[in-house]
Structure 1
Amino acid sequence: MIPAANLPDILPLFPLSGAVVLPRARLPLNIFEPRYLAMFEDVLKTRERLIGMIQPVDKEAEGALHGVGCAGRVTSFTETDDGRYMISLTGVSRFRFLNKVEGFVPYLQANIDWQEFTRDLGGAEHDDGFDRDGFLVLLERFFAVEELDTDWDNLKKAETEMLVNSLSMLAPFSPEDKQALLEAKTLSARRQTLLTLMEFALRRGDKGGMMQ
């Protein structure tokens, strides 16, 4: 865990549509663009090794970013023969994007504010209203409709926060839906949003003749 006092006011940002990271969950990334290779090499020189993941608002609004992102700490990386990096980010805390910082680096940096999301640093969050059995039944139907495979044994054993956050990051939802999951105030609210999105996908499947 990174102490709040060690969180920087300026963060390098990696804008990527459809990619979010949540506290204590892991996000794999393939780094290959020269500006992000430079960013990664600079990040490795810092104490906390933080990268801010943030989504663009849309493809038409060039340079416009969502107001909330999440910082991840580089916890592992491998360099490939062709000069790319395969890295793993472990989510630390969400942040509020304030404004871009002009500088002499080829990648984006921004002033950010952590104050709204101090709970993210408080250890694993619990969801007392979580109905695991019912959730897994719905999840299995959702995976069948989306033709997704998973390791069900490990999935069933996962802690609630890791289960909900990992699914929020990796399930095939739209960038807008992933932003809603990222910005959910509590784990319970995120779980409820996740259920709503899966139920909507199942209803859409029924109308399309995909569910029997």
Structure 2
Amino acid sequence: MTDFSDEASLPHLPPLLPIFPLDGAVLLPHGHLPLHVFEHRYRAMVEAALGLGRMIGMIQPRQVETHPIPDDAPIFEVGCAGRIVSFSETDDGRFLITLKGICRFRVADELPLGDQPFRRVHPDFSPYLIDLETAAEPSLDRARLLAAAKAYLQAKSIACEWSAVEAASIPAIVTSLAMICPFETGEKQALLESRSLTDQGNMLISLFEMALIENESGVTGLLH
């Protein structure tokens, strides 16, 4: 495996960005997203990115009715550029990569496919340059966040090394949980587009607590 994580963490933001439309998967600034890349077009995308600053834009498709996702599937306007910080290739040609979230972007326009099998956009990073700064400690109720998160993960039977979560900073907790929890596509997108880490954390608490209420209501309904 090639590990790029010790290199400079502030890369040049490219004017042209290959994108990886993936339903239910969001990359957030400062977060790490492991990916198993096996489709030909996305292997080509990774190979191209490795020679061009190692940057890939993660973005969600608006509707997914078939798999694989068609080339003309509509996408959300906002995604997040990530830099490949680790890379390995399997014997059968699949790639295992990890992206580190660098900066969110708004899609200015999309290029025709042309001779490339993967999609490319002109990203507008200007609304989200704050992402390049070190994440500040948000104004959040840490105890409430942890309690809601623990109850949610238990209700969803999601394994978690809880001692590591409790020892982490609030920015790390919010970013990691927002990325790994199985929220709906629209909820994931709302978390991605939150103006600040405080807004993101408060939305995360609300999603946890609403899911728990719905879960309890469902159980109660079955008992009566």
Q: What TM-score does the superposition give when structure 1 sets the normalisation length?
A: 0.93
After superposition, the C-alpha distances for 1:132-160 in whole angstroms (9 at most, x for unaligned) are: 12211111111111111100111111111
Distance between the aligned counterparts of 1:9 and 1:142, measured in 2? 40
After superposition, the C-alpha distances for 1:63-111 in whole angstroms (9 at most, x for unaligned) are: 2110100000000012112210111000000000121112321100011
Runs of 5+ consecutive residues of structure 2 not aligned to the other structure: 1-8
Aligned to 1:49: 54
Considering only aligned residues, what root-mean-square deviation do their CA atoms show, in Å? 1.8
2:64 to 41, 59, 62: 59
Identity of aligned residues (%): 40
Q: Secondary structure at the match of 1:106?
A: coil
Give 1:40 deviation, angstroms: 0.5
| Paired residue type of 1:42 | A
Aligned to 2:43: 37
Give 1:126 deviation, angstroms: 2.0
Distance between the aligned counterparts of 1:45 and 1:24, measured in 2? 22
Matched, 1:156 2:166: yes
After superposition, the C-alpha distances for 1:134-193 in whole angstroms (9 at most, x for unaligned) are: 211111111111111100111111111111011001101011110000000100000011
Matched residue count? 208
State whether residues 24 and 184 of structure 2, in contact with CA within 8 Å, keep that contact through their aligned partners in structure 1.
yes
Distance between the aligned counterparts of 2:14 and 2:56, measured in 1? 11
Aligned to 2:23: 17
Report 1:3-14 matches (<5 A): 6-14=12-20
Give 1:59 deviation, angstroms: 2.1
Q: What TM-score does the superposition give when structure 2 sets the normalisation length?
A: 0.88
Report 1:6-155 matches (<5 A): 6-46=12-52, 48-59=53-64, 62-102=72-112, 103-127=114-138, 129-155=139-165
Moved over 6 A (4+): none
Distance between the aligned counterparts of 1:189 and 1:134, measured in 2? 15
After superposition, the C-alpha distances for 1:23-57 in whole angstroms (9 at most, x for unaligned) are: 111001010000111110111112x2100000011
